[in-house]
Structure formats: structure tokens, C-alpha cells
């Protein structure tokens, strides 16, 4: 039983089902990666876990508690952090204000958490007073991840965090994500760059047409000739 | 050549009135821009909201005056204004509950909100005329001048005087206080920041746990308060007449758009740009030129670029230039 | 059948209202209301073309209607020869320079770049402005000095006023072209605000350009397209008719005049309605609706969204201009200060919303019902206030205030009606037909 588990999820955005009996989950301190071709339902699966669409069948549990009926906002309160793929920073607000907004639901002292985020992403400390909209793509992603970390979540969910950033920045970002996982946070992410992502994954899910195709450790998936041929370009 | 006297004329008839008018426009435009930033529509009922708040202020002022309470050397309306603000806030919140909330739930496009605000404008307009009638009302009492033209002449020894009316002084001072308080609220408090965040990126704000209905309530409270203050200042400085507030809508929208719809700093800057251009273009420069040119050379006409009746054209022309050159306004709009 | 029983009965009920007014108040009043209802219906059709077909928000209906009124003056008033001789030439030169200036600015705008463009535009604008005024101001002053009590303006072309209906449409179309060029393609709010602005400017111009419109001195006694009451009263035929029907000749003559107006207006209404319906059914109408419902998709299919919007905005404004000219025709005078946004812009919007946006029959019905209500709300409001305050003393200040303010209730009522329709029947009384 994973710490966060979306089990046998079936559903869509109201029309036809997009997910069919799909299961994804992640343990504390681990990185789980969801990969698959375009239109495989990767992002949809993630959104289903976060409560952004209604699933007809299946359930979502966190730490053994059934959270299927909760709104996304309530899930944030329960300890889930979510970084959307696009529009994931407040462009007109400074980096520091972005982080403060991340901690909006907290009423305790947030300076410690902010210092941790600045330790993790030193560039943000340097640019703390600059509007997030003026930062580069990679830096924006750091702000987005930092913002989500400000609630001190138990689970961090990332929707294609490396979309549109250069390979160097991508490696750097993955390093940081591993670092975050080491602090005991469960990380679930959807990735387009399957090879690199599976490299750092403790667990990998290969989806196609809303179904689980392969589920294994990242290493094993990378080694699997079928997966390589079909999804990783040989 | 008499630069000092020329400056005195400019100050008396251009700079001081424009400062006062600009303050009033800025306060009005701030309300429009806040509602736009949070609810994402241009509120055509804002002018009437101003008129309504002012009307309530006047009614309370009359009550105070009838029991012998006045503001002394200050206008009594200032004491009455908090009640006016309160009632205007209640009206705005009630309207939101009965009208706009439904469309928010339906996720209607902004244009539906806009048409709703037209209907609301109709209603407010009738309400105001029903209660206080369509006539002029005098809002200002107390001491009329901080210093008169005569005072200034005696003090400076110049031929031209500068008069500074109490209501002008109050308009400028109140605008400075309101703007300072608003910016402190938006930039320093958690609630204010959550409002900016909501305006910037609604979905992300929801993910961060911001309660949208609370943000909307605060936006209306601020907009109605600013509207009442702006309306009362304008009424004190000029006169209260219900239909004038409908006409103020154009310069107010122009201010908000020139600055960038949704940007509070833009609304303030836009207000002053519109006010100064409006008065500068319709100002008769005859006297100023007379003082600045050597000898007794004085031009025949008034040397006025446009007749005062065309002041709307100034707001409009500026609006057009902004729409053509930079539709997002000076400070990039669309967010608070 | 495209027109259902429901719609027919709605129109029948409206017709009944006129009969009731005819019986209870007077037939003459009933016909007066009918005439303005016909004009309102045309105006509502114009706004419906913009809003219902294309989703364009025109909050400057007043300005376009006033341009129609201006056309009525310029077409039908007799020319003032003296005014033309003292200032006509210079005025035309001024106009030419102004046009040249604008042309140069536009040319600079499109043909140059950067600082050079900005400097040149500024120079041309300033020079053009002063050159125009050098000719314009003395000309305007001279014209306004020609017998100011009676004329003081250039007068018109002295043609039958009925031509003004067409010219009014053209004037409004021209103004719409300018506004549309500037503000279409931006957010819908901007068009609304820009039209609000242009309408205020048009009214300011009509009030202040005395050489053109006599300003607030008004132009009265515009010629009519129908006979005058006095002429009818002279006619032996009508004298006999009145005697036969047991009516006073004065009443009969006034009714004949009103009926002839009604006939003319009805013809225009039917033509506009026929053309609007035909357009709506045509491929063009289908495309317009497609653009309205999904602009992005229509654009992706290669439709020129901005161009089509401009087209429909101009057409709708032209219809409003025609109605504006008709309104000035029936008034027989042009009074710029009578143009109030509540009456000329927002009331028309109420007609479209209540009638049913997107449906021409709905707009017509809305025009009838809302105008009828607008006129009749005043006596009804007064009666109502009298009723609820009847227990109060005659001189009770509250009673006096309420009776005094009864007229303003209709504004509130109109707001409430609009809000109720928007909320509970957003399609209006006659919903748009889905095909």
C-alpha cells in the first residue's frame, strides 16, 4: 500500500472516459514517474489523483485515508502540493511573494521553510525581489516548485516540470527533485523526457490510452527491451 | 517677460484644479480597476455607485446639519462620509449577491457581467433619482479657501493670485491617504497579497488555498469605499448632480485603461494623465502668453486648443492612442 | 412554420395593449406611442444585428441615433445663403486642410518607422491643427453671426426629409467605421468603452458646433414627409368624414397625420426586418453566428473575424442612424440636449435583452413592449404612489416626495426587468432560433 495511491481510476472530464482502471502511487521519500506517449492520459491521471476531475470508479488514498471526495483545495490542506505544467507562477508578484502565497494556508512562521527553499534554489534568493514573470523558464520552474514546497507538503506532484527548459537546466532540476525526495517527501511527476526521468525514478508507470502498460522500477523499465522500443526510441 | 505671474496663472487655473480632479479620477479609476482585476469585467455601474455613496453622504450630512453638528472649518460631508461608505458597501455587496454571484457560478463570459452592470446602472440611477431627485445639491460647507487669491497676492506681491480651495486640498490629501493605504494593503498584508495573486492567476491562487468569494467581497468593499470617497470629493469640489456621475464614467475608464486595466498604480497615474490633459487642452492660454511675451503683445483669442465642452474628446483621444499603440496600458494591465 | 403560436400571441397581447390605451386614455396617444414603438423597434434591430449576430457591445447607440438626427437637419432645412456666402468657402478650406492633415498622419503612420514617424506625425498634427483653425474659426464665427435668432447656421440642402433617413444611416455607418477600425479586435470591453466615448463626443459636437446644428438653440420646424394637420382640416373631404364619424376635425386630422407616419415607419421597419432576416438565414448569417460562438475556431477556418465584425458593426449602426433620423422627423425638430444615454442607449439595450438577443422578431417585440412600458410607467407609477400614500395627509412631505419621484420608478423597474430577464430567461421573450 503506497503512501499516496490512486487505485483503479476510471473517468474523464465529463465526456468519454480518458482513464481506464489506471493505478498510480508513490511512497514517501521516493520519486515516481509517469511516462507515455502524447494523449496517454498522463496529466489526466495526475489531475485525477489531485481531485481536478471526477473519477467514476476507483479511489484515491493518502496515508491510508480515503480522499477521493475531497476538493483540490482540501487536498492541499491535507498535505499535497501540486505544480501545474503552465501558468504555475504569479507573474506580477515577486519571487518572495510567490513563496508567501504558497504558504497562504499556514498561520505559523514560514521563514524557516522559505530559508529551506532558498537553500535548495539559491538563485531564487538572489532574485527574491524580482517579479516572477521576468525570470527565465528554468528559474520560473524553480519558483513554481518552491511555491508548492511552502505548504510543507507530504506529497509533491509535478506536471512536466521540464517542459520547455534546456537539457542542462533539466538535469539541474532533476537533481533538485531528488534532493527534495531525500527529505522524505513523496514525489509524483509526469514527464515527457521519459529516459532522463526514468533514470531518477524509484518507480515508473508507462501509460497508454489511459491504461497501465508497464509498472516497475525506473531501472527495470529502462532495461526492458519492449519499453525501450516502444517508448524510449530504442 | 513675467515668468512668476505666468506661473501663478498656470498654477491657479491649471495645476491646482488638475491635481484635485486627477485625485478624484484616480480614486474612481482604482475602484474600476480593482473590480476588473478580480471579477474581470468593466463595471459600467461604477459611476452610479459613486453617485449613490455621495447621495447617502449628503443625506447623513443633512441630518447632522439639522441637529447642529458641522465639521467646523471642514466640510460636514467628511463626517458623514463613513456612513455613506458603509451604505455603498452594503449596496455593492447586495448587488453582488443578487446579480453577479450567479454569473460567477455559471462561469459566464465577461460580456454577460458587463450587460448585467448596465442593468444595475439603470436600477441605481432610478434609485438615486427617486431618493434625492435629479437636481443639483451643494455638498461643501465650512471654510471655502485654504488661502484666497487675495491672500496670495498680499503674500507674494504678484499681480496674479493663486487660490487654493479647501475642497481641492481635501481631495488631494484624501487621495494620497487612500492610495497609500490601498498600496500598503495590497503589498504588505496577507489578504492584499492574496487579492493580487487571485487577480494574477486565479487557478494557482485557488491551489494555494485562497478563498475566491472572500477576495470578491474585499474587492467590492474597496471599490464601493473608493467610489464613495471619489464621488464625495467630486461633489464637494464641483457639485452633486446624478447625471454628472454617468458622464464621469468615460474619463474614469480612460484613466483605468491608460494606466492598464487591473493595475492600481496605473489607475492612479492614468487619473492624473487624463485630468492634466483634459484641463491643459481646454485651458485658455491667453494670459500666460501675455505674461511670457515681451511688451504688450497679447493674442486676440483665448488661445484655447479645444473648447471646454469637448473635454470628453480629450479622454477619448488619449484612450484611442493607447488602444492603438499599447492596448495593455502604460503599466501592463490585466492583473492587480 | 417558423413563427410559433407563442410568438404570435405575444404580438397579439402587445396589440391589445394599444387598444386598451386607445380606449382608456385616447387613440391619439395610442398612435403616438405606436409611432415611437416602431422607431424603437428599428433601433433595437440595429443593436440586435451587432449584439445578437456578432456579440458586439455598442454602448454608444445615442451617438449614432443623434447622427441620424443631424442628417435630418442637413437634408431638409432650407439652405442659408447668407451664411454660405460669409463663411462657406473658408469653412470648406478648413475642412480640406483637416482632411489633408488626417490623411498625412495616416500615411506617416503606415509608411514610416521609429522616431522619424513620431516626430513627423507630431509636426503634421500641430501644423494641421493651427492651419485648420486659421480658416475654420473666423468662418464659424461669421456664420454664427448671420441672424443668430433665426438661423446662424449653414442650413441644409432643402430636400425632402425622407432622404435624411438614408443619409442618417450613412452618417452613422461612417462613425461606426472609425470606431470599429480602432477598437474591434481588442477585448469586448474596449469596444463598449470606445462607443460610449464616441457617443458623448458626437453629442458634445452637436451641442457646440452652432454653425452646423445651431447647437442648443435647436433647429425647429423641420419639414414633414406627411401632410400638416391644418391642411387636412381645410379639406372638404375630411370635414365631411369627421362629421360622418362624429369626430372633431382636429382629432381626425391629428390621427390621419399619425397614421401616415405609422405607415411610413412600418414600411421601413418591414424592409429592415426583411433584410435582417434574409441576412441571418444566408451563408453570411451562418458565418456570423459561427464567429460569435467560437471566434478562435472561425479564425482557424480562415474567416476574417475582424473584417466581418467591422461589417456587422457598421450595418447595425447604420440601422440605428436610420431610426435616429426618423425620430427627428416625427419630432419635427432637432434638440441636441435631448439626447440622454439612459433613454437612447440603455433603454435600447433593455429592448434587445428583453425581446431576445439574436432574434429579429424578438428585438422588434422588445422595442414595442419596452417603449410602451417606458411611456405608460409614468402614469402607472403615479397612480401606484397615489394609492399607497392615499392614507397620508395631502401635505405629508413623504407623500409629496413619493408623488414627485414616481417618474423615476421606471428607471428602477427597467433595471429590475433587465436583471430578471438576464437571470431567468437569458434568451429573452422570443429566443434565438437554433438551426
Chain B residues in contact with A88 by the CB 8 A cut-off are 204
ipTM of the complex as predicted = 0.89
Chain A residues in contact with B209 by the CB 8 A cut-off are 73, 76-77, 104-105, 151
Beta-carbon separation of A84 and B193 below 8 A: no
pLDDT at site B335: 45
Q: Verify that A68 and A158 share a domain, yes or no.
A: yes
Q: Kindly state the average pLDDT of the residues C53-82.
A: 92
Tell whether the model's pLDDT for residue B290 goes beyond 50: yes
Chain B residues in contact with C181 by the CB 8 A cut-off are none
Tell whether the model's pLDDT for residue B1 goes beyond 70: no
Establish if A12 belongs to a structural domain: yes
Domains, chain B: 3-325 (1.10.3470)
Per-residue pLDDT of chain A (234 residues; tens, 9 = 90+): 689 999 999 988 877 888 999 999 999 999 999 998 888 888 899 999 998 888 888 999 999 899 999 988 889 888 999 999 889 999 999 999 999 999 998 889 999 999 999 999 999 999 999 999 999 988 999 999 999 999 899 999 999 988 888 888 899 999 999 999 999 999 999 998 888 899 999 999 999 888 998 899 988 998 888 888 877 775
Tell whether the model's pLDDT for residue C6 goes beyond 90: no
User: Which among A91, A92, A104 has the least Cβ separation from residue B208?
Assistant: A104
Beta-carbon separation of C412 and B119 below 8 A: no
Closest to C70 (Cα-Cα) out of C337, C324, C332: C324
Tell whether the model's pLDDT for residue C155 goes beyond 80: yes
- Which are the contacts of B245, defined by CB distance < 8 A and separation ≥ 6? B47, B48, B50, B51, B54, B231, B234
Beta-carbon separation of B129 and C59 below 8 A: no
Beta-carbon separation of C422 and B249 below 8 A: no
Residue written as cell 422588445?
C366
Q: Verify that A166 and A69 share a domain, yes or no.
A: yes
Q: Verify that A10 and A75 share a domain, yes or no.
A: yes
Closest to B123 (Cα-Cα) out of C380, C413, C425, C405: C413
CA distances, B321 to each of B215, B305, B317 (Å): 33, 18, 6
Beta-carbon separation of A105 and B206 below 8 A: no
Question: Which chain B residue has its CA at the smallest distance from A131's CA?
Answer: B200
Chain B residues in contact with C193 by the CB 8 A cut-off are 42, 250, 253-254, 257, 319
Chains touching C by CB (3 or more pairs below 8 Å): B
State which residues form the domain around A145.
89-151
pLDDT at site C422: 92
Chain A positions with Cβ closer than 8 Å to B: 72-73, 76-77, 82, 84, 87-93, 97, 100-102, 104-105, 147, 151
Beta-carbon separation of B115 and C57 below 8 A: yes
pLDDT in tens, B146-195: 888 888 888 888 888 889 999 999 999 999 999 999 999 999 999 999 99
pLDDT at site C1: 42
- Residue C328, CA atoms < 13 Å, CB-side half-sphere: 40
User: Which among B131, B249, B307 has the least Cβ separation from residue C208?
Assistant: B307
Is there an interface between C and A (3+ Cβ pairs < 8 A)? Answer: no
Chain A residues in contact with B207 by the CB 8 A cut-off are 72-73, 76, 82, 84
pLDDT at site C37: 96
Question: Which chain B residue has its CA at the smallest distance from C416's CA?
Answer: B123
Tell whether the model's pLDDT for residue C142 goes beyond 90: no
Q: Verify that A147 and A157 share a domain, yes or no.
A: no
Contact B27, B229 (CB under 8 A): yes
Average pLDDT value for chain C: 89
Chains touching A by CB (3 or more pairs below 8 Å): B
Q: Verify that A129 and A176 share a domain, yes or no.
A: no
For residue B251, name the pLDDT band (cuts at 50, 70, 90): very high
Q: Verify that A206 and A216 share a domain, yes or no.
A: yes
How far apart are the CA of C349 and the nearest CA of chain B, in angstroms? 9
User: Which among B200, B208, B335 has the least Cβ separation from residue A102?
Assistant: B208
pLDDT in tens, A7-28: 999 988 877 888 999 999 999 9
Contact A161, A146 (CB under 8 A): no
pLDDT at site A33: 93
How far apart are the CA of B100 and the nearest CA of chain A, in angstroms? 23
Establish if A84 belongs to a structural domain: no
For residue B93, name the pLDDT band (cuts at 50, 70, 90): very high
- Give the number of beta-carbon pairs within 8 Å between B and C: 133
Question: Which chain A residue has its CA at the smallest distance from B336's CA?
Answer: A92
Q: Verify that A13 and A74 share a domain, yes or no.
A: yes
Q: Kindly state the average pLDDT of the residues C105-121.
A: 86
Q: Verify that A56 and A162 share a domain, yes or no.
A: yes
pLDDT at site B308: 82
Identify the three-state secondary structure at position C254: helix
Q: Verify that A71 and A167 share a domain, yes or no.
A: yes
How far apart are the CA of B311 and the nearest CA of chain A, in angstroms? 34
CATH of the domain at A72: 3.40.50.300
User: Which among C196, C411, C422 has the least Cβ separation from residue B116?
Assistant: C422
Chain B residues in contact with A87 by the CB 8 A cut-off are 201, 203-204
pLDDT in tens, C307-345: 999 999 999 999 999 999 999 999 999 999 899 888 899
pLDDT in tens, B53-86: 999 999 999 999 999 888 888 899 999 999 999 9
Q: Kindly state the average pLDDT of the residues B245-262.
A: 91
> How far is it, in rounded angstroms, from Cα B166 to Cα B162?
13
CA distances, C292 to each of A201, B42, C366 (Å): 48, 20, 22
Q: Kindly state the average pLDDT of the residues C418-434.
A: 87
For residue B287, name the pLDDT band (cuts at 50, 70, 90): confident
Q: Verify that A224 and A159 share a domain, yes or no.
A: yes
pLDDT at site B295: 66
Average pLDDT value for chain B: 90
In chain C, pLDDT over 70 holds for what percent of residues?
99
> How far is it, in rounded angstroms, from Cα A97 to Cα B197?
9
Tell whether the model's pLDDT for residue C435 goes beyond 80: no
Q: Verify that A99 and A197 share a domain, yes or no.
A: no
For residue B313, name the pLDDT band (cuts at 50, 70, 90): confident
Establish if A198 belongs to a structural domain: yes
pLDDT at site B336: 38
pLDDT in tens, C351-395: 999 998 888 999 999 999 999 999 988 888 888 888 888 887 777
Chains touching B by CB (3 or more pairs below 8 Å): A, C
- Residue C323, CA atoms < 13 Å, CB-side half-sphere: 35
Residue-by-residue DSSP string for A117-137:
HHHH-HHHHHTTTSBGGGS-H
Three cell numbers written together for A56:
467514476
Tell whether the model's pLDDT for residue B5 goes beyond 90: no
Three cell numbers written together for C196:
460610449
pLDDT at site A234: 59
> How far is it, in rounded angstroms, from Cα A61 to Cα C145?
88
Tell whether the model's pLDDT for residue C185 goes beyond 80: no
DSSP 8-state class, residue B240 = B
Chain B residues in contact with C350 by the CB 8 A cut-off are 119, 122
Tell whether the model's pLDDT for residue C209 goes beyond 90: no
pLDDT in tens, C189-205: 888 888 988 898 899 99
Beta-carbon separation of B201 and A77 below 8 A: no
Q: Which residues on adjacent β-strands are paired with residue B137?
A: B240
Chain B residues in contact with A102 by the CB 8 A cut-off are 208
| Domain termination site, one of A108, A129, A151 | A151
Q: Verify that A71 and A104 share a domain, yes or no.
A: no
Q: How many other β-carbons are positioned within 10 Å of the β-carbon of residue A10?
A: 16
pLDDT at site B231: 96
| Total tally of structural domains belonging to chain A | 2
pLDDT at site C335: 92
Amino acid at each position: 500500500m503506497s503512501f499516496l495511491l490512486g487505485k483503479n481510476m476510471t473517468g474523464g472530464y465529463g465526456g468519454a472516459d480518458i482513464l481506464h482502471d489506471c493505478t498510480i502511487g508513490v511512497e514517501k521519500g521516493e520519486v515516481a514517474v509517469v511516462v507515455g506517449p502524447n494523449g496517454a492520459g498522463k496529466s489526466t491521471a495526475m489531475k485525477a489523483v489531485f481531485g481536478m476531475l471526477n473519477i467514476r470508479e476507483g479511489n484515491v488514498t493518502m496515508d491510508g485515508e480515503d480522499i477521493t471526495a475531497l476538493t483540490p483545495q482540501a487536498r492541499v490542506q491535507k498535505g499535497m502540493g501540486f505544480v501545474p505544467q503552465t501558468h504555475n507562477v504569479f507573474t506580477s508578484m515577486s519571487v518572495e511573494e510567490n513563496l508567501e502565497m504558497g504558504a497562504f494556508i499556514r498561520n505559523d512562521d514560514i521563514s524557516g521553510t522559505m530559508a529551506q527553499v532558498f537553500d535548495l534554489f539559491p538563485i531564487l534568493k538572489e532574485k527574491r525581489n524580482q517579479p516572477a514573470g521576468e525570470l527565465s523558464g528554468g528559474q520560473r520552474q524553480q519558483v513554481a516548485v518552491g511555491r508548492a514546497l511552502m505548504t510543507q507538503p507530504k506529497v509533491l506532484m509535478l506536471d512536466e516540470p521540464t517542459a520547455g527548459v534546456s537539457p542542462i537546466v533539466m538535469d539541474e532540476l532533476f537533481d533538485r527533485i531528488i534532493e527534495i525526495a531525500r527529505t522524505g517527501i513523496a514525489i509524483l511527476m509526469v514527464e515527457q523526457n521519459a529516459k532522463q526521468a526514468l533514470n531518477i525514478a524509484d518507480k515508473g508507470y508507462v501509460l497508454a490510452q489511459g491504461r497501465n502498460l508497464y509498472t516497475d522500477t525506473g531501472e527495470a523499465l529502462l532495461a526492458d527491451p519492449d519499453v525501450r522500443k516502444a517508448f524510449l526510441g530504442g | 517677460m513675467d515668468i512668476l505671474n505666468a506661473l501663478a496663472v498656470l498654477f491657479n487655473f491649471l495645476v491646482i484644479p488638475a491635481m484635485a480632479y486627477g485625485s478624484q479620477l484616480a480614486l474612481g479609476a482604482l475602484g474600476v480597476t480593482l473590480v476588473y482585476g478580480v471579477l474581470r469585467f468593466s463595471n459600467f455601474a461604477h459611476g452610479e455607485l459613486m453617485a449613490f455613496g455621495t447621495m447617502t453622504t449628503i443625506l447623513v450630512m443633512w441630518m447632522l446639519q439639522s441637529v447642529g453638528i458641522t465639521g467646523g472649518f471642514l466640510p460636514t460631508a467628511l463626517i458623514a462620509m463613513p456612513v455613506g461608505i458603509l451604505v455603498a458597501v452594503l449596496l455593492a455587496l447586495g448587488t453582488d449577491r443578487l446579480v453577479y454571484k450567479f454569473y460567477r457560478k455559471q462561469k459566464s463570459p465577461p460580456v454577460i457581467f458587463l450587460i448585467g452592470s448596465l442593468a444595475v446602472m439603470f436600477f441605481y440611477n432610478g434609485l438615486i433619482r427617486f431618493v434625492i431627485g435629479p437636481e443639483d445639491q451643494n455638498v461643501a460647507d465650512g471654510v471655502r479657501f485654504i488661502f484666497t487669491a487675495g491672500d496670495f497676492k498680499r503674500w507674494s506681491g504678484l499681480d496674479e493670485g493663486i487660490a487654493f480651495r479647501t475642497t481641492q486640498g481635501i481631495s488631494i490629501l484624501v487621495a494620497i491617504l487612500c492610495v497609500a493605504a490601498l498600496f500598503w494593503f495590497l503589498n504588505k498584508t496577507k489578504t492584499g497579497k492574496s487579492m493580487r495573486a487571485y487577480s494574477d492567476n486565479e487557478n494557482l491562487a485557488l491551489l494555494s488555498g485562497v478563498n475566491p468569494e472572500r477576495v470578491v467581497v474585499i474587492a467590492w468593499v474597496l471599490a464601493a469605499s473608493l467610489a464613495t470617497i471619489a464621488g464625495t470629493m467630486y461633489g464637494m469640489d464641483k457639485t452633486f448632480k446624478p447625471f454628472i456621475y454617468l458622464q464621469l464614467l468615460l474619463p474614469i475608464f480612460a484613466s483605468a485603461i491608460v494606466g492598464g486595466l487591473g493595475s492600481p498604480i496605473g489607475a492612479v497615474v492614468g487619473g492624473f494623465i487624463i485630468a492634466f490633459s483634459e484641463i491643459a487642452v481646454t485651458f485658455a492660454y491667453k494670459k500666460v502668453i501675455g505674461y511670457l511675451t515681451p511688451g504688450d503683445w497679447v493674442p486676440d483669442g483665448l488661445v484655447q486648443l479645444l473648447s471646454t465642452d469637448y473635454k470628453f474628446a480629450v479622454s477619448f483621444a488619449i484612450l484611442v492612442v493607447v488602444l492603438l499603440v499599447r492596448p495593455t496600458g502604460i503599466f501592463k494591465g490585466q492583473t492587480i | 412554420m417558423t413563427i410559433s403560436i407563442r410568438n404570435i400571441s405575444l404580438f397579439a397581447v402587445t396589440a391589445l395593449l394599444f387598444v386598451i390605451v386607445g380606449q382608456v386614455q385616447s387613440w391619439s396617444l395610442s398612435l403616438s406611442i405606436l409611432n415611437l414603438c416602431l422607431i424603437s423597434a428599428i433601433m433595437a434591430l440595429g443593436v440586435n444585428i451587432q449584439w445578437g449576430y456578432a456579440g458586439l457591445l455598442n454602448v454608444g447607440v445615442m451617438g449614432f441615433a443623434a447622427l441620424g438626427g443631424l442628417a435630418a437637419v442637413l437634408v431638409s432645412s432650407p439652405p442659408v445663403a447668407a451664411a454660405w456666402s460669409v463663411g462657406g468657402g473658408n469653412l470648406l478650406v478648413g475642412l480640406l486642410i483637416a482632411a489633408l492633415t488626417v490623411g498625412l498622419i495616416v500615411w506617416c503612420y503606415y509608411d514610416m518607422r521609429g522616431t522619424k514617424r513620431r516626430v513627423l506625425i507630431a509636426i503634421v498634427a500641430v501644423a494641421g491643427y493651427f492651419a485648420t483653425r486659421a480658416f475654420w474659426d473666423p468662418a464659424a464665427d461669421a456664420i454664427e453671426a448671420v441672424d443668430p435668432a433665426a438661423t446662424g447656421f449653414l442650413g441644409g440642402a432643402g430636400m425632402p426629409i425622407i432622404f435624411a433617413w438614408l443619409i442618417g444611416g450613412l452618417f452613422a455607418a461612417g462613425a461606426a467605421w472609425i470606431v470599429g477600425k480602432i477598437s474591434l479586435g481588442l477585448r469586448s470591453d474596449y469596444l463598449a468603452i470606445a462607443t460610449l466615448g464616441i457617443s458623448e463626443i458626437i453629442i458634445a459636437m452637436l451641442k457646440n458646433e452652432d454653425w452646423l446644428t445651431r447647437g442648443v438653440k435647436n433647429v425647429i420646424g423641420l419639414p414633414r414627409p406627411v401632410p400638416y394637420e391644418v391642411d387636412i382640416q381645410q379639406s372638404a373631404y375630411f370635414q365631411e368624414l369627421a362629421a360622418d364619424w362624429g369626430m372633431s376635425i382636429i382629432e381626425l386630422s391629428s390621427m390621419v397625420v399619425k397614421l401616415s407616419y405609422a405607415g411610413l415607419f412600418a414600411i421601413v421597419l418591414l424592409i429592415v426586418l426583411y433584410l435582417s432576416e434574409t441576412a441571418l438565414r444566408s451563408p453570411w448569417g451562418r458565418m456570423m453566428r459561427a464567429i460569435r460562438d467560437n471566434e478562435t475556431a472561425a479564425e482557424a477556418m480562415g474567416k476574417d473575424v475582424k473584417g466581418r465584425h467591422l461589417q456587422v458593426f457598421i450595418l447595425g449602426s447604420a440601422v440605428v442612424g436610420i431610426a435616429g433620423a426618423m425620430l427627428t422627423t416625427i419630432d419635427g425638430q432637432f434638440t441636441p440636449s435631448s439626447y440622454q444615454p439612459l433613454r437612447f442607449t440603455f433603454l435600447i439595450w433593455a429592448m434587445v435583452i428583453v425581446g431576445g438577443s439574436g432574434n429579429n422578431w424578438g428585438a422588434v417585440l422588445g422595442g414595442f413592449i419596452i417603449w410602451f412600458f417606458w411611456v405608460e410607467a409614468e402614469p402607472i407609477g403615479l397612480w401606484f404612489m397615489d394609492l399607497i400614500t392615499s392614507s397620508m395627509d395631502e401635505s405629508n412631505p413623504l407623500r409629496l416626495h413619493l408623488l414627485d419621484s414616481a417618474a423615476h420608478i421606471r428607471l428602477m423597474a427597467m433595471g429590475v426587468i433587465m436583471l430578471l430577464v438576464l437571470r431567468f430567461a437569458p434568451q429573452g421573450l422570443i429566443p434565438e432560433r437554433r438551426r
